[in-house]
Amino acid sequence: MIKRVVVLTGAGISAESGLKTFRDSDGLWEGYNIEDVATPQAWQRNPKLVQDFYNMRRKDVLAAKPNAAHFALAKLEEQFDVTIITQNIDDLHERAGSTKVVHLHGIITRSQSSINPELTYPIEGWELRMGDVCELGSQLRAHVVWFGEDVPIIEQAAKICADAELFVLSGTSLAVYPAAGLVHYVKSGVKKYIVDPNVPAVSRLSNVVELQAKATIGIPKLVEELMSNNIK
Ligand code: APR
């Protein structure tokens, strides 16, 4: 029986929880240019703008609820050893009950020292203020990976993908590296399901089953099939 399931998720899995995807909205993210709010240069130029932007995103995340796709993936743990690798900075997988979630791009409910990215802390409520500092006395920022920054746990994620016995990809356009390259670490003999209303093109990938569907429809259906052993 298949044991280790690895699920790589992106913004699309949280879309039906009311959180917007990135590339479905004209290259803008909630009305902002990415360079103005999600790069180290933006933080240098205008830290208050960046802080306020992520405070708003945190408010949205706290108000959002996990959807049927998040809950179905949590349920999959009843029969499989499931690891979720998510590009999302929301905590909806955890709130749905998933116990092994790797956040490639950080998580917005935590803060991070602006001089040492390894120092992270939980945030009470939605607001991180200018003047809130880490134990070293430097300003705290959101614990998210900005464009131009390293993805510190990419090697750990690649190992998890290489060990997968079944792989699921959902809600990501695979436009952003290094996350997009993870699919190529999955062994060629392993079955790979892609659940997305607009299935991304992936070259050089074998054993792919495309399920063209929204996450809240496609993921529960797939989970049900896997759990009743209809698909192996
Ligand atoms: N269910 C499933 N998938 C959906 C849904 C839905 N209801 N709605 C949209 N999608 C799909 C789109 O078809 C697309 O393939 O979700 C994907 C969203 O792609 P992006 O907006 O590019 O999001 P993502 O791939 O997560 O972006 C990666 O880019 O901006 C950075 O760091 C940010 O983590 C993010 C990274």
Q: Which amino acid is at 156?
A: Q
pTM of the entire structure? Answer: 0.96
Q: Which CATH class is domain 20-63+108-144?
A: alpha beta
Q: Are 61 and 17 in contact (CB under 8 A)?
A: no
Interval 24-80: pLDDT, tens? 766 667 789 989 999 999 999 999 999 999 999 999 999 999 999 999 999 999 999
- Residues labelled as active-site residues: 105
Who contacts 151 (Cβ-Cβ below 8 Å, separation ≥6)? Answer: 104, 105, 145, 178, 179
Cα separation of 190 and 162, whole Å? 10
* In the chain, ranges of CATH 3.40.50.1220 domains: 1-18+66-105+151-232
171 lines ligand 1 (CB under 6 A): yes
Sign, CA torsion 178/167/207/187: positive
Interval 64-88: pLDDT, tens? 999 999 999 999 999 999 999 999 9
176 lines ligand 1 (CB under 6 A): yes
The domain made up of 1-18+66-105+151-232 has a fold known as: Rossmann fold (3.40.50)
